[in-house]
Structure 1
Amino acid sequence: MAGIHGRGDRTRGARAAGAAAAAASLLLLTACSGGSDEGGGEESGLEMGASGVVPAVEPPGPEGFASQTIDGITIDMPEGWEIQNEGGTLCASPPGQAACAYGSIRLTPRAAENNPREWPKKGDAHAKDDGWADDTSSCRSLNTAASGGIGVSGAELTVSDFTTHANDLKSHHSVWRVTCANDDTFEVRMWFLPISDVLLYVWSADSQYSAVYDQVAASMNTDGYSN
């Protein structure tokens, strides 16, 4: 019997030692992986390199969006972009570009009402080849936007459809390809609610932000706006 009890003690001792080793291994694994009660810590995206732990590569572009408001209209603008809210227009400009110029997106309530030519509402300009601006005389390509001295030779309406916004209203969505006198080209994008007279406008589109423009447009909510 003594031999049996001795064998049982040795078995219980081995089990305890194994459990302790497993617990130590779990603690070590958690520490290395940055684990937490919420499913991963700040280092969960790290990868091991030749000289130790290095951060994983982050994608370029804005990291998120922040809600902005003008006249009761709310819209998500990219974080890291320069925001201006003055003169009845909310404008967001991408990093490294002049304010409200190349690559920018503008939100203007009562756009046609406050425009001397009633653009873009008058004559359904938003749906015509020459309706891309109230003044169509100046090229806005990346190389000429700052100078303002190059004319325009023509424009083509390449997209004319509808976009549904956050409050389920549908706007007229128009995209133009404009050709300058020096053969440069640029793209203009517009979302227009003619009854509400609300204009969302990309003055001269930067193609790397195509998805950003669409996400900004989709987020627009005019429920708090009264024209």
Structure 2
Amino acid sequence: MPSYAAPRRAALSLLGLLALVSAAACANGVEVRPGPARPAASATDGFPLRADDALYAVNDVNLVLPDGWRAIGSDGCLAPPGSAGDPQDSCPPTALRIRTGAAEDGHIDADGGSLDEKDGWKRPWTVCPGSVGQVGSVTPEPVGERERGGFELVSGERVESAAWTLACADGRPFETRIWYVPGADIELDVPIVDPSVGGEEYERIVRSADLSRYLG
């Protein structure tokens, strides 16, 4: 398993950004090979960059972070804009986490099939918002329908995804999401989706991931 490395921000000039956007737009019918910290140029159709996007490498996983997102620490914590927590050492529950060895650690089955289950969302860190970090944290209950899907990363690996709506005693619902890459045994999850950001923004980050260096 690759060793953890401190997050490092890839240098990206405005000129370089425009070049990557142009390359993505002109990639029709041309196969572009995955490359280190270049997820925007890693798929035939490219990955659409926004003007304020930044390229990051976290634990040898290359991805795109939207404006305002930040990588905290060295263990794959990606926090959305305005999220609470000490940026030096605390990963907020609204952060997207990259967890290596998820099946090996017993959190999910190796093919991601447990995401089809009603309780497939259960993880020790997914608790009611008001009890995060407390002794005797309260476990929420699922409400509504589970969403299930899948897609391919820009580097070609299959991702199995699922989203659940959960609620606690106060009745206020919140969303939790999990993305799993069976071919790499990597899980990306967000215990509590920040409603001001929305689940699709989290998924956009996941879709940008390039695992060519991690699996290389």
Q: TM-score range by the shorter chain?
A: 0.5 to 0.7
1:40-51 matches, within 5 Å, as none
CA distance in 2, matches of 1:131, 1:183: 21
1:112 equivalent in structure 2: 103
Task: Give 1:103 deviation, angstroms.
Answer: 2.2
Task: Give 1:175 deviation, angstroms.
Answer: 0.2
Q: Which of 141, 146, 155 is residue 154 of structure 1 equivalent to?
A: 141
1:135 equivalent in structure 2: 124
1:103 equivalent in structure 2: 94
- Do 1:175 and 1:187's aligned partners in 2 also have CA atoms closer than 8 Å? yes
1:189 equivalent in structure 2: 177
CA distance in 2, matches of 1:97, 1:203: 14
Which amino acid letter does the alignment assign opposite residue 54 of structure 2? Answer: A
Give the secondary-structure state (helix, strand or coil) at the position aligned to 1:224: helix
1:76-95 matches, within 5 Å, as 76-86=64-74, 89-94=75-80, 95=82
Seq. identity, %: 20
CA RMSD of aligned residues (A): 2.8
- Do 1:107 and 1:200's aligned partners in 2 also have CA atoms closer than 8 Å? yes
Task: Give 1:153 deviation, angstroms.
Answer: 4.9
1:198 equivalent in structure 2: 186
Task: Give 1:220 deviation, angstroms.
Answer: 0.7
Q: Which has the higher contact order (CA 8 A, sep 6+)?
A: 2
Give the secondary-structure state (helix, strand or coil) at the position aligned to 2:215: coil
Q: Against the structure 1 CA distance between its residues 131 and 91, is the aligned structure 2 distance closer, same or farther, given a 3 Å change threshold?
A: same
- Do 1:139 and 1:148's aligned partners in 2 also have CA atoms closer than 8 Å? no
Q: Against the structure 1 CA distance between its residues 91 and 137, is the aligned structure 2 distance closer, same or farther, given a 3 Å change threshold?
A: closer
Which amino acid letter does the alignment assign opposite residue 120 of structure 1? Answer: I
1:164 equivalent in alignment to 2:155: no
2:196 equivalent in structure 1: 208
Aligned length: 159
Moved more, 121-130 or 69-78: 121-130
1:222 equivalent in alignment to 2:208: no
Which amino acid letter does the alignment assign opposite residue 138 of structure 1? Answer: V
Give the secondary-structure state (helix, strand or coil) at the position aligned to 1:92: strand
Q: Which structure 2 residue ranges, 5 or more long, are not aligned?
A: 1-49
CA distance in 2, matches of 1:170, 1:136: 25
Give the secondary-structure state (helix, strand or coil) at the position aligned to 1:83: strand
Q: Which structure 1 residue ranges, 5 or more long, are not aligned?
A: 1-61
Q: Against the structure 1 CA distance between its residues 69 and 128, is the aligned structure 2 distance closer, same or farther, given a 3 Å change threshold?
A: same
- Do 1:138 and 1:149's aligned partners in 2 also have CA atoms closer than 8 Å? no
Q: Against the structure 1 CA distance between its residues 215 and 138, is the aligned structure 2 distance closer, same or farther, given a 3 Å change threshold?
A: closer
Given the two structures, how large is their TM-score scaled by the length of structure 2? 0.62
Which amino acid letter does the alignment assign opposite residue 160 of structure 1? Answer: R
CA distance in 1, matches of 2:126, 2:62: 32
Task: Give 1:109 deviation, angstroms.
Answer: 2.2
